[in-house]
Amino acid sequence: MKFLFVGSSPDHGGAEVHFTALAQALQEQGHGVEAMVDPRGFIAAELARANVPLHRRRFRNVIDPCAHARLHRAIRDFRPDALIGNFGKDYWPLVLAGRMAKVPVALFRHSVTALNPLSSRWLPRLAHSYFAVSHYARAVYADHGMDAQCVQVLHNPVDVRRFQHAEQVRAQVLAELDIPQDAIVVGYCGRMRSKGIYTLLEASALAMARDPRVHCLWVGEDGGGELRSAAAFLPHADRHRFTGLVDDTERYYSAFSMLAFPSLAPETFGRVSIEAQACGIPVLGSDIGGVPETLIPGSSGLLLPPGDARAWKRGILALCDPAARAAMAVAGRAFVEQRFSYPVIAGQLVARMQAGR
């Protein structure tokens, strides 16, 4: 099949990573892929690196006439079998273009904020496929009044060739950060705001008091440095390391002994959880939102009550056992390969787009 992706976002978040990963997954399975994207930012750069042909134009708003003309030219020239959209600004232009060109449209929704009543009622009915990225999100959309029968679930894909454990890389990262090679590294990856990071900070301090091998590695943007400042006043402050924003997160997963995903507010899904498990890293995740769909509790990780620092301390100490981590590493990698790998998710999308055509 041939897929034309349309993405007007210049940002670098979960929806943008999903957009590029899904395009690459289809391309790797031998499907034709082109994309009409904002010429700035992450999406254009990532797809250019993957040699996806780009139409560099974005929708400034729903009625942007130049963008509509560019989209119709791309459809005419490429003759796609399906149009794919991830961002709210692109939903109505894609539905209208798909109807005019008689091309099926698949829309992905990543946020759980409510759409306006018109869009909530009609977009899932007018699109060929309307996807939530978790069962949790689908339930929230139904609570907002959307017809759940019009919403399907298709999880995020992950490149299991890119995300895999490398012991040599682990040794290099630990040496670069001056962390002992025998350390038990509690890793966090993501933006350091509104994700329960202070629960994890408290829990890690309690775990460090119990086990001198425990260290914390914080990967991501620390805004104004508030978390780093807070860690400096804790006992064992010398066991915390901060990398800042990085592009090669898979490298740091290899250095983790476990990933902590301590969200307080419900996450729509939780990509970092499946990326870490692909790298053979057990996950401590908050039992909230879409996070439970990203791991096998007791097998590839542990679900813990959000905001309960003492429960998170117990979870960290439980995974200080190397035998427990080794078993979870094998289970987690197999789980991701079977549920979230590029061939699996690309195959599911193709099957659903072909259904009813």
DSSP string, 1-16: -EEEEEE-----SHHH
Domain of 39, CATH number, reads 3.40.50.2000
- Residue 302 tokens read as 């542990």
Q: CA 342, CA 160: separation in Å to the nearest integer?
A: 8
Q: 140 and 179, same structural domain?
A: no
Q: Are 77 and 101 in contact (CB under 8 A)?
A: no
Residue 116's SS3 state is: coil
Q: 65 and 19, same structural domain?
A: yes
Q: Does residue 316 belong to any structural domain of this protein?
A: yes
Q: What is the pLDDT of residue 35?
A: 98
Q: Does residue 162 belong to any structural domain of this protein?
A: no
Q: Does residue 199 belong to any structural domain of this protein?
A: yes
Q: What is the DSSP string of 45-111?
A: HHHHHTT--EEE---SSTT-HHHHHHHHHHHHHH--SEEEE-SHHHHHHHHHHHHHHT--EEEEE--
CA separation, residue 339 to residues 326, 333, 345, 348 (Å): 20, 10, 8, 10
Q: How confident is the model at residue 327 (pLDDT cuts 50, 70, 90)?
A: very high
pLDDT of 311 strictly over 90: yes
Q: How confident is the model at residue 27 (pLDDT cuts 50, 70, 90)?
A: very high
Q: 122 and 249, same structural domain?
A: no
Q: 212 and 197, same structural domain?
A: yes
Q: Are 71 and 97 in contact (CB under 8 A)?
A: yes
Q: 184 and 148, same structural domain?
A: no
Number of structural domains in the chain: 2
Q: CA 149, CA 63: separation in Å to the nearest integer?
A: 29
Q: How many CB atoms lie within 10 A of CB 161?
A: 10
Instruction: Give the amino acid at 290.
Output: G
Average pLDDT over residues 287-293: 96
Q: Model confidence over 215-270: pLDDT tens digits?
A: 999 999 887 788 999 999 999 999 999 998 888 899 999 999 999 999 999 999 99
List the one residue out of 250, 252, 247 whose CA is nearest residue 173.
Answer: 252
Average pLDDT over residues 196-209: 96
Q: Does residue 119 belong to any structural domain of this protein?
A: yes
Q: CA 344, CA 349: separation in Å to the nearest integer?
A: 9
Q: 178 and 327, same structural domain?
A: yes
Q: 174 and 125, same structural domain?
A: no
Q: Does residue 220 belong to any structural domain of this protein?
A: yes
Q: Are 169 and 255 in contact (CB under 8 A)?
A: yes
Q: 307 and 176, same structural domain?
A: yes
Q: 192 and 45, same structural domain?
A: no
Q: 346 and 309, same structural domain?
A: no
Q: 289 and 181, same structural domain?
A: yes
Instruction: Compute the residue count for the chain.
Output: 357
**Residue 181: Cβ-neighbour burial (10 angstroms; 0-12, 13-18, 19+):** exposed
- Per the structure, the complete domain to which residue 240 belongs is given by 167-339
Q: How confident is the model at residue 192 (pLDDT cuts 50, 70, 90)?
A: confident
Q: CA 336, CA 273: separation in Å to the nearest integer?
A: 10
Average pLDDT over residues 329-357: 94
Residues 6+ apart with CB under 8 A from 344: 157, 337, 338
List the one residue out of 273, 246, 287, 256 whose CA is nearest residue 333.
Answer: 273
pTM for the model stands at 0.93
Q: 136 and 22, same structural domain?
A: yes
